[in-house]
Amino acid sequence: MKIAVVGTGYVGLVSGTCFAESGNYVTCIDIDAAKVEKMRNGYVPIYEPGLEVLFERNTRQGRLEFTTDLKEGIREANIVFLALPTPPGADGSADLSYVLKVASDLSEIITEYTVIVDKSTVPVGTAEKVEAVLSEKLNHALFDVVSNPEFLREGVAVEDFMKPDRVVVGTSSEKAMKLMSALYEPFVRQGNPVIFMDERSAEMTKYAANSYLATRISFMNEIANLCERLGADVDMVRKGMGSDSRIGKRFYFRG
């Protein structure tokens, strides 16, 4: 399959490299010409264990390429991933200008059916906004917008991507669903699920998961403060709590 990934930050580069490792032909697109030239010459701009080996193998074998030209990068692509920054604005809301600008650009250059995938962490309703921008200049028969949030942990992102606990895909299109199923099939051979749902639910799943994990850590920090005051050992408390199958051991470390 031919894949394009717009944005070569942490999520974009890990995703593009891992998709190439599973046999796809991937073009990563970035507006930073100096960064693109360095990656063409074998430089990996982020540190992530295991990434450099996959990066080198797939660039050498011609499955992973880099360009600054959006039109050239998406040529013949079945799926285009948007892995763009969504920095917080002055009021704390996510800035979607990068995502919507690329969607606008894509609306002028797509000529064949393409699945556009929101891979960035975006607010609920973003898929609809991307769809609206694309629809301004593009026949809806030529695209579908999908929400596919990432759940990567720094330090083990390659392992998380290659062997995911689950893959969440938000789409109401049967055509897009079939393409995304084929794309992720090599990553879920051990039986972990690809969970299909509507776009808003997929976007909400990302926020719900992040919030819950943060809540667990915050809770254990509060327990640590209590233990310090009362003379209890927080590590023993954590082990006692985490051994309960309803609670589990992960994400219960203070700090």
Distance set, CA 162 to CA 21, 40, 58, 116, 192 (Å): 9, 23, 15, 21, 11
14 and 33 housed in the same domain: yes
- Tell me 94's DSSP state: B
- Tell me 141's DSSP state: G
**Per the structure, how many domains does the chain have?**
2
3-class secondary-structure state, position 216? helix
Single out the residue of 184, 106, 182 nearest to residue 144, CA to CA: 106
The range of the structural domain enclosing residue 120 comes to 2-197
Look up the pTM and report it.
0.91
Residues 6+ apart with CB under 8 A from 222: none
42 and 156 housed in the same domain: yes
pLDDT tens track for 196-255: 999 999 999 999 999 998 898 899 999 999 999 999 999 999 899 888 888 877 766 766
Residue 83 structure tokens: 């892995």
Q: What is the CATH number for 45?
A: 3.40.50.720
| Of 152, 171, 197, the domain-final residue | 197
Q: What is the CATH number for 242?
A: 1.10.1040.10
Tokens 């689950």 locate to: 166
Is pLDDT above 90 for 90? no
